[in-house]
Amino acid sequence: MDPRIVTLRPRPPWFGGTLQTARALRWPIAARLPPGHRLWLPLADGDALAATLHLPEAQPPARPLAALVHGLTGSEDDPCLREAAAGLLRRGFPVLRINLRGSAKSQPRSTSHYHLGRSADLADALSALPEMLTGKGVVVAGWSLGGALVLHLLAREGERRGMAPVLAGAAVCPPLQPELAFETIDANAVFGRALLALYRREVLAVPARDLDEDLRRAATRATSLYEFEATVTAPRFGYPSYEVFTELERSSDALPRIRVPTLLLMGGDDPLVPATSLDGVDWDECPSVAPMLVRGAGHCGFYDLGRENLSVRVIGAFFEGAADGVGTTGAAALAVADTDASSSPVADPALA
């Protein structure tokens, strides 16, 4: 299907892509969550990912485990992840918020770092979970870079051997065309320098065995995200060039290989991942993907007038359809997006 185009009615004061993005990634008032359980999920090379498990009120849980994955320089505490976790818990899903290898919360047990192609880390981590958590299957959602990792995971069936069945996936504002996203981020006066500085600090903070002095110097000298990926990430992980790295890890190319129902949410005014990332995708070749382009959503924002933001409502409907065995999963989620989101904003500041 071609992307469904929806126009968002923004929740004041989050007008425009820049403010929507800032709200999603850096809002200091976090959505409330019940106490969680810290897990360390082992990887094949001895590293481990920090994750927080939350269980719904209904015990035992009647729905599959929902695994959530953050983006570049993010963590399990990104506002967009916490809001999605709260919404899925309300719908009866146990929720696992995963921190990628080398990110701040996983750093104590990391000797390397995540990148666009490291979807096998997610497969390893989810394969380590006991049957009591995954016996009803798994649904997986990722934001930004985490969304790209989810798309690769869903497309690479070989990586998922040993995992519980994945019933559905969702990718929110993934960099479908990596070089286009890097170029757009570098040109952004608000987010470009900040993301590069945070990324550099995160990478250099890990006591990494695969980051030699030449690569550390390159990381220190890089003046753009493009330069960082070209002179640090690509050679560090064995890619012959930046061009090969972006071509092999192009998540738009993963879409036709996905056979799991997958929701793709993109922002029409995304200041980091432009809507033109959708150009060139043959949607007739992507029968398992339900794409939606939301005007006014920014990057991972989607803050409209609803009690929950639009992305939480749509992902919730999509995952509920998959969990309940409804064949119209994509149609149900798109129908939610088409409804009027003019319900009164909640008074709870954690959801404001």
* Catalytic positions, written as ranges: 144, 270, 299
Strand partners, 51: 39, 98
Return d(Cα 25, Cα 95) in angstroms, integer: 19
Q: What is the DSSP letter of 321?
A: H
Both structure tokens of 245 = 């790295």
Cβ pair 88, 95 in contact under 8 A: yes
The H or E element spanning position 25 is: helix 17-26
CA atoms within 13 A on the CB side of 249: 31
Both structure tokens of 225 = 């995200």
Pick from 208, 121, 195: nearest CA to 160 = 121
Distance from chain centroid for Cα 26 = 15
Report H helices in 136-177.
Answer: 145-155
Pick from 140, 144, 142, 143: nearest CA to 175 = 144
DSSP string, 260-307: S-EEEEEETT-SSS-GGGGTT--GGG-TTEEEEEEET-TTTT--BSSS
Both structure tokens of 257 = 């290989």
Return d(Cα 299, Cα 270) in angstroms, integer: 5
Question: Which residues of the chain form beta strands (DSSP E)?
Answer: 4-7, 37-42, 48-54, 65-69, 95-98, 138-143, 166-172, 262-267, 289-295
Task: Count CB neighbours of 34 within 10 A.
Answer: 12
